[in-house]
Amino acid sequence: MRITNPHEQAVAAFRLEGDQLWLEGNWTVQQVDRLYQELIRTLRRYPRKFLAINFSHLQQMDSAGVIVVEALEAFCQQRGIRVSREAIPENIQHVFENFSARQITTSVASVQENWLERLGTVIYQVLYHDVVQFFTLVVDLIYFGVIDIFHRRAHRAGEFVRQALYIGVNAVPIIGTVAFLIGVVLALQSSEQLRQFGANLYIADLTAIAMVQEMGPLITAIMVAGRSGSAIASEIATMIVSEEVDALKTMGIQPLRYIVIPKLHAALFVLPFLTILADFFGILGGLMIGYLDLELSPYVFFNRMIQVLYIRDLATGYIKSLVFAYIIVLAGAFYGFRVKGGAEGVGRVTTMAVVAAIFFVIIADSILGLLFY
Amino acid sequence: MLQENPVISVQNLSATFGDRQVLQNVSFTVRQNEIAVILGSSGCGKTTTLKHLIGLYPVQQGNVEVLGIPVHSASERELQRLYQKIGVLFQNGALLNSITVAENVAIPLEQHTQLPQKIITQLVRLKLQLVELPGVEMMVPSQLSGGMKKRAALARAIALDPPLLFCDEPSAGLDPITMSALDELILKLKRVLGMTIVLVTHEVPSIFRLADRIIFLDAGRVIFEGPLTEALQSPNPIIQEFFKKGRGENRPANPR
């Protein structure tokens, strides 16, 4: 006697003959989704006013199957087709009784967003040597960063916009302020020297080029590393501590793609804009000092600035900001995933992430600066 | 009687972390539609065993087969197929804290099916109704009590009607009434949905209510595997002590 494999699934199907709709096979959650679309299409063209759904060939049904059948019945009723159920086997009848007789209550919508972090017990294994983990992450970020632009289902809908808001929009006031002050300080320090040589005009050169090529991208990256690098690390670390990452894994979702990639996309998108903003405010600071301290009219300052800035300078700043964005997310993810211990561990890795992000941003800045020189 | 394939089959599973041998030659099977309880005192390796079964720890030594899939040597794709057929209830629920309850329960449906949003919404409501938690769809996990979080997490675990459910210390931190209500829920899942359930716990009242089969661990070894009734008759002093203390008695149950 052949022993049937209890883990095999009979293929779900349907047959429309006359005014009878035969359901066949296993109407379970894995198979029912494509059938639903097909059935809707078929029923759209159904000409009669009466339909009998025959369940006698149905082997198995689960809750998804019940909901789909009910949805189809509702669809028919909307189009004025009367539906009846026929020849329901006993096991299928049980399933209907369990799932469909309920009054599914509509819930009162009370949307309240609450970003508290929960801490719990943790067992997290470091399975790979540090270096292998690091380079795997480096490559994974690049690979999935590209692939997931086209592969929407790997992460939550709307996450990109949400992250762009947190990382970018919310940082505008602080970056604008800081950049302005840096521009002011920069100009102030050099104005003394420039005045001695009567080279007042060159304050425009100095401020514009320094901001666009160096200070703008750097200050922006440092602020974002502090704000968002720490947020990324602590969010991941907390999710690990509370087993949320384990839960994602056992639902077949890759935590890196679900949590980190949207942040990477957002950071890459948003940092260049923030950099331009920083450039603008920094130069504005310099302009103000030029006017107040060096008797340089804004009109002259502006003209000189345009003369002196090349597209190349702006491009350098843009490329730098992209590289910095990648470094910040990499640092946050790398340390976040390596958390050990509870609350203390979360704090520890958050600190390490920010320090590493800032440090490597500055190193990258030097390297790129030399490269582009 | 037809010999059925066991739903879970573990053979000689061993695990060492650092210089500690946490599991030693652990072997057991779990059969269709039964509730198997892995138990023992704290630190005996229960949760470690469970995490091996669901692929969170790589198998160092031994064989682990779940629903016909060899977890010890499975590829990414095979593990993905396994995850579509199991549900896991973690000790603290492990709901994602940044999204609502409804969004949490919908995750497996959105991930593994192409069902339209309307159907998913209905299914989510149905599952929450099943675990007796209606009306909380729009709340975030931090607004729920401990018992409610567990129920919501259970709703998420059964979203795809999996044939196999794992629960890691489901009663942890619950008062006796909530605990027994959760146990009733688990029994309902076994009866009504025909699930096979693997439970890790050390709560004796729950064990009495739920267990068909006991796998008793002590210091990383299986010292008993079989029906609960047999376990209670076991002459093993560790098992006797466990159930005696669990029942709150101070005198030995079976004087030898």
Q: Is residue B216 part of a domain?
A: no
Domains of chain A, CATH where assigned: 13-99 (3.30.750.24), 130-372 (no CATH)
Q: What is the pLDDT of residues B67-96, one digit of tens each?
A: 999 998 888 889 988 999 999 999 888 999
Taking CB atoms and an 8 Å cutoff, what residues of chain B touch A28? 161
Listing DSSP states for A88-153 in one string gives --HHHHHHHHHHTSS--PPPP-------------------S-HHHHHHHHHHHHHHHHHHTTT-GG
Of residues B47, B84, B97, nearest to A252 (C-beta): B84
Judge if B92 and B157 occupy the same domain: yes
Q: Is residue B69 part of a domain?
A: no
**Separation CA A62–CA A58 (nearest Å):** 11
Predicted local distance difference test score (pLDDT) of residue B168? 93
Taking CB atoms and an 8 Å cutoff, what residues of chain B touch A108? 135, 138
C-alpha A209 chain-centroid distance:
33
Q: Determine the distance in angstroms separating the CA of B226 from the nearest CA of chain A, rounded to an integer.
A: 23
Say yes or no: ipTM exceeds 0.85: no
Q: Is residue B127 part of a domain?
A: yes
The answer to whether the Cβ–Cβ distance between A67 and B119 falls below 8 Å is yes
**Separation CA B209–CA A138 (nearest Å):** 50
Cβ–Cβ contact B18 with A under 8 A: no
- Say how many C-beta atoms besides its own lie within 10 A of residue A63's C-beta: 23
The tokens describing A66, both together, are 């019940």
Taking CB atoms and an 8 Å cutoff, what residues of chain A touch B149? none
Residues 20-59 of B with CB under 8 A from A: 32, 47, 51, 54-58
Of residues B51, B92, B125, nearest to A104 (C-beta): B125
From the list A203, A215, A188, A365, the residue with the least C-alpha distance to A276 is A215
Sorting pLDDT into bands at 50, 70 and 90, what band is B252? low
Judge if B155 and B92 occupy the same domain: yes
Q: Which residues span the domain enclosing B123?
A: 86-178
The answer to whether the Cβ–Cβ distance between A118 and B127 falls below 8 Å is no
Burial B178-192 (b: 16+ CB within 10 A, else e): bbeebbebbeebbee
Contact A156, A262 (CB under 8 A): yes
Taking CB atoms and an 8 Å cutoff, what residues of chain B touch A107? 125, 134-138
Which residue, B156, B178, B200, sits at the end of a domain?
B178
Of residues A7, A107, A127, nearest to B68 (C-beta): A7
From the list B200, B141, B130, the residue with the least C-alpha distance to B165 is B200
Mean pLDDT per block of 10 residues along chain A (373 residues) reads 51 85 87 85 86 88 88 87 87 80 48 42 47 88 91 78 92 95 93 86 88 94 94 94 92 92 95 95 92 87 89 91 96 93 88 95 94 81
Which residue, B178, B202, B237, sits at the end of a domain?
B178
Q: How far is CA B191 from CA A97, B33, B186, in A?
A: 13, 8, 9
**Tokens 């009998």 belong to residue:** A52
A133 against B105, higher pLDDT: B105
A234 Ramachandran zone, left/alpha/beta (phi>0; psi -120 to 50) = alpha
**For chain B, what is the domain count?**
2
Q: Is residue B224 part of a domain?
A: no
The answer to whether the Cβ–Cβ distance between B94 and A242 falls below 8 Å is yes
* pTM, to two decimals: 0.73
Q: Is residue B229 part of a domain?
A: no
Q: Determine the distance in angstroms separating the CA of A247 from the nearest CA of chain B, rounded to an integer.
A: 6
Sorting pLDDT into bands at 50, 70 and 90, what band is B249? low
Q: Is residue B46 part of a domain?
A: no
Of residues A6, A112, A248, nearest to B32 (C-beta): A6
The answer to whether the Cβ–Cβ distance between B122 and A67 falls below 8 Å is yes
Of residues B107, B118, B126, nearest to A63 (C-beta): B126
Which residue, B163, B178, B193, sits at the end of a domain?
B178
Q: What is the pLDDT of residues B9-41, one digit of tens each?
A: 999 999 988 778 899 999 999 999 999 999 987
The CATH number for B122's domain is: 3.40.50.300
Mean pLDDT of chain B: 88
Cβ–Cβ contact B83 with A under 8 A: yes
Return the DSSP state at B93.
B
**Separation CA B256–CA B237 (nearest Å):** 11
- Say how many C-beta atoms besides its own lie within 10 A of residue B53's C-beta: 25
**What is the rounded average pLDDT of the residues B129-136?**
88
C-alpha A157 chain-centroid distance:
9
From the list A200, A182, A210, A198, the residue with the least C-alpha distance to A290 is A200
Judge if B31 and B97 occupy the same domain: no
Residue A35 three-state SS = helix
